[in-house]
Amino acid sequence: MSDRPSRMTDTERDAALGTVSGWAYDAEEKAIRKTFQFADFSEAWGFMNRAALLAEKLDHHPEWFNVYNRVEVKMTTHDADGVTTLDFQMATAMDSFAA
Ligand SMILES: C[C@H](O)[C@H](O)[C@H]1CNC2=NC(N)=NC(=O)C2=N1
């Protein structure tokens, strides 16, 4: 996608963090992170499957790590060298997929 949003300001990012649940900014990684916990692997995999389909649609992909019922997610926009609205679009959707 050539028309990626540009990096959010600190103020914009902090405001957006207030609209999602459990996500935190990692300044070193210039990313937002959240760890999701599920009942079991099947639930975790179902979540990852839904997130993966949206990621493909948006051409915006999570960096994540899964062990059994836990999924650690990191979202950043490499092209923008930081966090953009696309990361929050994914974060919001992931919160709803996990609900
Ligand atoms: C070429 C391709 O569109 C880019 O590499 C996309 C793919 N998915 C991506 N995902 C994320 N999270 N950040 C990006 O900057 C990004 N860039």
* For ligand 1, mutation pick of 2, 33, 59 (most atoms within 8 Å of CB): 59
Give a yes or no: residue 15 inside a domain.
Answer: no
Instruction: Tell me the whole-structure pTM to 2 decimals.
Output: 0.94
Instruction: State how far the Cα of 17 lies from the Cα of 11, in Å rounded to an integer.
Output: 10
User: CB–CB of 76/87 below 8 Å?
Assistant: yes
Ligand 1 binding pocket includes 7 (Cβ within 6 Å): no
1 vs 24, higher pLDDT: 24
Give a yes or no: residue 27 inside a domain.
Answer: no
The CATH number of whichever domain residue 75 belongs to comes to 3.30.1360.20
Give a yes or no: residue 17 inside a domain.
Answer: no
- Provide the number of structural domains found in the chain: 1
Q: What are phi and psi of 40, to 5 degrees?
A: -160, -175
Give a yes or no: residue 12 inside a domain.
Answer: no
Instruction: State how far the Cα of 69 lies from the Cα of 80, in Å rounded to an integer.
Output: 31
Predicted confidence at residue 33, as pLDDT, reads 98
Residue 28 Cα, ligand 1 centroid: separation in angstroms? Answer: 19
In which region does residue 22 sit, left (phi positive, over 0), alpha (psi from -120 to 50) or beta (all else)?
A: left
Ligand 1 binding pocket includes 58 (Cβ within 6 Å): no
pLDDT digits (tens, 9 = 90+) for 25-72: 999 999 999 999 999 999 999 999 999 999 999 999 999 999 999 999
Q: Which domain holds residue 86?
A: 32-98
Alpha-carbon dihedral 56, 94, 74, 30, rounded to 10 degrees: 100
Ligand 1 binding pocket includes 3 (Cβ within 6 Å): no
